Copies of this chain bind each other. A is one copy, B any other.
């Protein structure tokens, strides 16, 4: 296996933390998103959608999408389970990871990519150019804060995002909170459960990944 990473980017960090929690080392190739290496002919052969993370399997085929990569790693290395254990647990983990992606990370991407001076005409990742939409940046900021309160409600009665065990949903939410810090969105003072959780998951050694 070969892992195509970018050390500074949020999406591949989700895979890095996942690997660290599993205690797995994978041969890693850094793709320099800053200089546009994801658009090179060489990388397009790995992932024609020009995004990291991507995982080259031993048969030479390539998998992109964070969840697909993590599921593959979990299938080969079941312990500790980060995608849930029982069918009910697995459903809750999948649901919460999906909510963090759709309601949190997508909103955060809108907020960041539509306002960053370095990303004019790069409002979306991928091979095509899209102009920034300032209203989308503003909407994204509001949605991220709103989702922080949604997470706070969930964490009031739960140790972790998807229940009582650490899972990929915590990884995605941790990356969301840290990514939000890039544009100076922090956990609201009155979101005490989210703060408690963030303090805990940030202390895990995997958070350094």
Contacts and interface: CB of A to CB of B under 8 A. Distances in A.
Interface of A: 48-49, 55, 57, 59, 61, 63-65, 67-69, 71-72, 75-76, 87-88, 90-92, 94-95, 98-99, 102-103, 106, 124, 126, 128, 130-131, 133, 135-136, 139, 143, 146, 150, 153
Given A65-B94, A94-B67, A87 B99 contact: no
Contacts of A95: 63-65, 68
A interface SS class = helix
A39 to B, nearest CB: 16
A87 B76 contact: yes
A68 B87 contact: no
Contact of A68 (B68, B69, B91, B126): B91
A54 to B, nearest CB: 9
A138 to B, nearest CB: 10
Given A65-B98, A75-B90, A124-B143, 11 more contacts: A49-B150, A57-B91, A63-B91, A63-B92, A65-B94, A65-B102, A75-B91, A103-B126, A128-B143, A131-B135, A133-B133
